[in-house]
Structure 1
Amino acid sequence: MRGLLYGVVGACLMLAGIASAAERADRLKLQENHPTEYVVVKGDTLWGISGRFLQSPWRWPEVWNVNPQIDNPHLIYPGDQIYLTWVDGQPRLGLRRGIRKLSPQVRVQTLAQPVPAIPLRDIASFLNDNLVTQGDELAAAPYVIGGRNESIIAGAGDRVYARGTLIDEEVEQQTLYRPAREYTHPVTGEFLGYELYKVADVAVAATEGDVITLDLHKTREEVRARDRLLPSGSERIQSVFHPQPGGELSDGVIIDVLGGVAKIGQFDAVAISAGEYEGLEPGDVFAIFKKGEAVKDPVNGDIVELPSERAGELMVFKTFDRVSYALVMKATNVISVGDELRVP
């Protein structure tokens, strides 16, 4: 009987130890030089503010989510004061609204904008101007065959003609895209999609047989033959993000760096080899691991692959079928195409 009692007590202590270890592992860690208070200024982001306090700034919903003083952590304005407090042994961020003095006089003033979650200026063009589509949709899209008066290029205010069948005849506003590159998985060789970039906003003026008359309203570049016509996206552009840890990815890697730069650093936009098919959503955060180098053993001559090292973090901001765009939020090492993505 005594042995059974000791066994039960031992099992309870073991479970308590496991729970305690899990609790410690999941506990939010503060920066070593974290402030106790911070006044929000213009140009701040929620990620940056949280990074002043937390070692994992993408976990900001956890420190603000249960705080009764902040109904919506995405509505924080310049001049507001953020302060550190503790609740049940866990850090929490409190809010004191900044003082806004008003005087009885007529004035014209723009409304103050809340600080964004991440630096939107670094991804603005990729939020609404780039598209990744599958090959069958691209092949079915009408294409420009020429312009009025036999012109081969055209701009805003001109009229051009396309050939094919409208993908969605109910949508009057259409967009002309130009294929930029083909994405394939660097590990499996699987085709992932074609990246297109926006050339012009157009309106369908008329259709006759398979010839479509288009009026160019707003152009980013000159319109050329073979540019593809697709319906303008009706989805709302997401500018507020709720970060959460991304799930396990099989062979998830960075496949391209956007914006024409060669090296990848903080606040660079990248394309990754996973999308809606793998369950990704805007706000998913992944750790970036730089693939270990292959070195030659100086003793027996074997080729040894060194372990991968953590090089930063990124957050997904736009998803497609098999590809997503993400913003590198932290870079502690040189990041390259082919680097691996893991649960943070």
Structure 2
Amino acid sequence: MPRRLGVSVSALLSLSLAFPTFAEQKPLSVKEDAPTTYTVVKGDTLWDISAMYLDSPWLWPRLWQVNPDIDNPHLIYPGDRLSLIWRDGHPVLSLKPMVKLSPKVRVLEKEAVSTVNAGLVLPYIESDRLLSASELDASPRVLGASDGKKYLSNQGLLYISGEHQVKTWTIYRPLEEYQRDEHTVVALKKIATAELQESQPQFSGLNVVTQSQEVMVDDIALPDVDVEMHSLSTTFYPVPTPKESFANILGSLEGSQYVGQNQVVILDRGEKDQLRQGSMFELYSQGVEVSIEGDDSDDARLPDTRVGNLMVIRPYPYFSLALVTESTEPVGKETILKSPLIHESQ
């Protein structure tokens, strides 16, 4: 079955609030080589399709026109045909669905097109990767194995603190800690998956199913959580952050100083700052300071240079995980994040 989470009414409302009014918007410009018609194929992403038509793919909602004959107008599927047409002098995309049995019934045999490559997003949706300091302190920890070995593999049971009944578990290793005012989170690296085998009052035994490296004493064990409980999906609209929005890059999950395209960073803004899945920032390299001969004022700073885009893929209350969707140079803590609406309104 396709993932049918799509876009909620509240998400559409936030999308409409994020964009300036029609009078404030620049006319939408479509690429000269944009196809007049395009049939969606397996492996396409919404971001790729958007980039075929627009220099700024996050403007997709302004180009996209929903079709009232489609049961769920927020999703497109392999086999759907998109047509570029003009209405009142404005470019729009209309859609012909792959199969239509009646005005309100549609056969959905394939998964909907995801916003970006699902393989880049799913690992951060299906498992917690940021944990607050208080949650970390309260989480079950790996106690070890009966043979006393420091490094644990899939040979025999490993034991975690506490009595538990949840069947499936993921083992994580705490990495760096990140701070925002009084809020602290810890980045976690997935080490292994495991299944519950036995449970006793003070500890529970897990059998390791898969692992990327050996489990160690004091690693963290978290019960697996249903994805839909988080209202997260691989299918969502990219939407610009509000014009006044800003954020800072705190680091990367892998601990590297710089990242590139299709890598994930941690931001110091989250749901409390109106960020959601799909929220877009533009990335800028700060302009250098220069001295102007004959000018007694302070040194001038040259304009910042746009170097790429960044998309929030998993928001937390005060932090977010974000994917670098485009970058012409390494992205690090000094990279500046701005709302795309600042660039669009200029």
TM-score (norm 2): 0.75
- Seen in structure 2, the aligned counterparts of structure 1 residues 55 and 76 have a Cα distance that, compared at 3 Å, is same
Deviations 1:124-176 (A, max 9, x none): 3333345111112212223222212222222235212233x46xx56343332
User: Contact (CA 8 Å) 2:40, 2:80: kept in 1 or not?
Assistant: yes
Q: CA RMSD in A?
A: 3.3
Cα displacement (A) at 1:40: 2.6
Equivalent residue runs for 1:13-162 within 5 Å: 23=23, 25-68=25-68, 71-72=71-72, 75-97=75-97, 112-156=110-154, 158-162=156-160
Q: Decide whether the 8 Å contact of 1:285 with 1:314 is kept in 2.
A: yes
How many Å apart are 1:194 and its aligned residue?
Answer: 0.4
Partner of 2:273: 278
Aligned residue number for residue 305 of structure 2: 309
Letter in 2 for 1:207: Q
SS of 1:126 mapped into structure 2: helix
Whole-angstrom CA distance in 2 between matches of 1:214 and 1:46: 40
5+ residue gaps in structure 2? 1-20, 100-108, 341-346
Is residue 198–residue 205 contact of structure 2 (8 Å, CA) maintained in 1? yes
1:197 is the counterpart of 2:195 = no
Answer whether contact 1:133 1:320 (CA < 8 A) is retained. Answer: no
Question: Which residue type is aligned with residue 326 of structure 2?
Answer: K
- Counterpart CA distance in 1 for 2:325 and 2:66 is 25
Distance change (3 Å), C-alpha of 1:96 and 1:195: same
Find the aligned partners of 1:80 and 1:235 in 2 and give their Cα distance.
27
Asked whether 1:290 is paired with 2:282, we answer: no
CA distance in 2, matches of 1:298, 1:158: 74
Give matches, 1:173-252, under 5 Å.
Answer: 173-184=168-179, 192-202=184-194, 203=196, 205-208=198-201, 210-236=202-228, 238-247=233-242, 252=247
Change beyond 3 A, Cα 1:264–1:296: farther
Letter in 2 for 1:322: Y
How many correspondences in the alignment? 307
5 Å matches for 1:330-341?
A: 330-341=326-337
Residue 325 of structure 1 pairs with residue 321 of structure 2: yes
Q: C-alpha distance in 1, partners of 2:321/2:168?
A: 25
CA distance in 2, matches of 1:311, 1:158: 50
Which residue is 1:15 aligned to?
none
Q: Structure 1 residue 305: deviation in Å?
A: 3.9
- Tell me the alpha carbon deviations over residues 274-318 of structure 1, each in whole angstroms, 9 at most, x when there is no partner: 112323211111222222334456667965443333222221111
Shift of 1:178: 0.9
Shift of 1:227: 0.6
Asked whether the 8 Å contact 1:206–1:212 carries over to 2, the reply is yes
Kindly provide the amino acid, as one letter, of the partner of residue 200 in structure 2. Answer: T
CA-CA distance at 1:84 after TM superposition? 0.5
Residue 224 of structure 1, CA deviation: 1.0
Verify the 8 A CA contact 2:66 2:73 in the aligned structure 1.
no
Q: Percent identity, aligned pairs only?
A: 33
Structure 1 residues 219 and 284 mapped into 2: Cα distance closer, same or farther (>3 Å)?
same
Instruction: Describe the SS at the equivalent of 1:226.
Output: coil
How far did residue 212 of structure 1 move? 3.5
Against the structure 1 CA distance between its residues 142 and 43, is the aligned structure 2 distance closer, same or farther, given a 3 Å change threshold? closer
Is the contact made by 1:74 and 1:117 (CA closer than 8 Å) also made in structure 2? no
* Inter-CA distance 264–223: structure 2 relative to 1 (3 Å threshold): closer
Q: What TM-score, normalized to structure 1? A: 0.75
Residue type at the aligned position of 1:54: L
How far apart are 1:83 and its partner, in Å?
1.5
**1:240–1:220: structure 2 CA closer, same or farther, 3 Å change rule?**
same
Cα distance in 2 between the residues matched to 1:211 and 1:80:
53
| Structure 1 position 336, deviation (Å) | 2.7
Is the Cα–Cα contact under 8 Å of residues 69 and 95 in structure 1 kept in the other structure?
Answer: no
Q: Tell me, yes or no, if the aligned pair for 1:173 and 1:231 is still in contact at 8 Å.
A: yes
- Higher RCO (Cα < 8 Å, 6 or more apart): 2
Answer whether contact 1:45 1:116 (CA < 8 A) is retained: yes
